[in-house]
């Protein structure tokens, strides 16, 4: 692929998104992408979807040749573009965004090249960091490479999550094992909670067990998930609840949005979980019991939110 062809392809993509509508674009070698234009923002972002994978980029990058070459995984073209601009306009932000895109689409050779040319393995692109992007996309090889090149395994993606939490939520035990081996904090807190809370909420028993064996706190509390047992209660994961109780989880521990795991199970209508937790002596406070009785006594249209 020569540079002129890259330029023509980028211009073609750019023309397809100038009318503020969602436009499908068929790109060589990469299948069908959806480019969504939101003209109501100062810097209109585009969302490029590939299957279940979503990568966010800013409008100016759509016309960037290095960006597209990294997107397509054409290592030769990436090298040509880097060589051509080595004494002119290669800047860190171009390399970092190219690294992010190559990471998301799994182009290991391109990632290796961009890192060698100076891309920042701890870069953040549109609030996402490169390591979390690799983990979320399930790119074990790229995750290992980024860590080897200095990526911080405990770096948070904005204020929301870290790489271990992403892997735990996604059910990727192999990546969880890799991150812990490379120094990830099993009790690292984000704005949403911990890796154990994420695994419990997502019903990944194997990851829950691995995290606990690695030292994760079974009573850790987070703002979004609450405690691991309340997260499992909300999604009806009986096996995880049983395991956590065996490992010392407190069924009556106060939790993020609920009084305890029992209230979470009641609100999410997990009847089997309610019965299980009551067998473990879970209780609601008199105040919550009164509200629940009042809710049951009123017509459905007048029921208060507990």
Residue-range domains of the chain with CATH: 1-118 (no CATH), 193-306 (1.25.40.20)
Name residue, tokens 């008199």: 286
Average pLDDT of span 135-162: 92
Could you say which DSSP state residue 41 is in?
S
Q: pLDDT tens digit string along 93-111?
A: 467 778 888 888 888 988 9
Contacts of 180 (CB under 8 A, 6+ apart): 164, 186, 210, 214
277 pLDDT higher than 80 = yes
Contacts of 227 (CB under 8 A, 6+ apart): 197, 219, 220, 221, 249, 250, 253, 255, 256, 261
245 pLDDT higher than 80 = yes
Higher-pLDDT residue of 180, 100: 180
Smallest Cα–Cα separation from 164: which of 133, 137, 132? 132
Smallest Cα–Cα separation from 109: which of 75, 151, 143? 75
Lowest mean per-residue pLDDT among 18-22, 69-73, 143-147: 18-22
The Cα 218–Cα 231 span in angstroms is 11
235 pLDDT higher than 70 = yes
- Buried b / exposed e over 252-263, threshold 16 CB at 10 Å, is bbebbebbbbbb
Please report the pLDDT score of residue 288 as a whole number. 56
Mean pLDDT of the chain: 74
The Cα 177–Cα 174 span in angstroms is 5
Lowest mean per-residue pLDDT among 143-152, 176-185, 198-207, 219-228: 219-228
Please report the pLDDT score of residue 84 as a whole number. 52
Question: Confidence band (pLDDT; 50, 70, 90) for 209?
Answer: very high
β-strand partners of 125: 128
Could you say which DSSP state residue 301 is in?
G
Smallest Cα–Cα separation from 179: which of 123, 217, 136? 136
The Cα 71–Cα 106 span in angstroms is 9
118 pLDDT higher than 60 = yes
157 pLDDT higher than 90 = no
Average pLDDT of span 8-26: 42
129 pLDDT higher than 50 = yes
Angle made by CA atoms 159, 122, 124, in degrees to the nearest 5: 50
Please report the pLDDT score of residue 253 as a whole number. 93
The Cα 68–Cα 288 span in angstroms is 56
Average pLDDT of span 5-20: 45
Higher-pLDDT residue of 89, 113: 113
Q: Please give the model's pTM, rounded to 2 decimal places.
A: 0.71
Higher-pLDDT residue of 254, 17: 254
């Amino acid at each position: 692929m020569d540079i002129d062809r890259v330029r023509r392809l980028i211009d073609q993509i750019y023309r397809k998104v100038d009318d503020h509508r969602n436009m499908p674009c068929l790109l060589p070698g990469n299948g069908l992408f959806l480019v969504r234009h939101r003209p109501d923002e100062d810097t209109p972002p585009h969302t490029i979807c590939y299957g279940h994978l979503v990568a966010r980029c800013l409008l100016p990058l759509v016309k960037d040749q290095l960006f597209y070459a990294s997107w397509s995984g054409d290592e030769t073209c990436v090298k040509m573009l880097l060589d051509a601009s080595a004494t002119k306009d290669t800047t860190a932000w171009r390399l970092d965004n190219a690294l992010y895109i190559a990471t998301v689409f799994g182009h290991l050779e391109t990632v290796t090249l961009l890192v060698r040319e100076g891309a920042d393995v701890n870069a953040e692109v549109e609030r996402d960091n490169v390591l979390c992007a690799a983990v979320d996309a399930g790119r074990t090889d790229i995750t290992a490479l980024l860590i080897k090149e200095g990526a911080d395994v405990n770096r948070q993606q904005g204020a929301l999550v870290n790489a271990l939490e992403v892997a735990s939520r996604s059910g990727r035990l192999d990546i969880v094992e890799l991150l812990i081996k490379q120094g990830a904090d099993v009790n690292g807190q984000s704005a949403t909670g911990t890796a154990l809370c994420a695994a419990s909420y997502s019903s990944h028993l194997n990851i829950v067990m691995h995290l606990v064996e690695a030292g994760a706190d079974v009573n850790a509390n987070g703002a979004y998930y609450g405690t691991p047992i309340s997260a499992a209660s909300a999604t009806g994961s009986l096996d995880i609840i049983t395991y956590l109780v065996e490992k010392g989880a407190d069924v009556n521990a106060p939790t993020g949005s609920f009084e305890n795991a029992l209230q979470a199970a009641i609100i999410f209508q997990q009847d089997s979980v309610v019965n299980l937790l009551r067998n473990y002596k879970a209780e609601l406070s008199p105040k919550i019991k009164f509200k629940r009785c009042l809710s049951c006594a009123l017509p459905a249209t007048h029921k208060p939110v507990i």
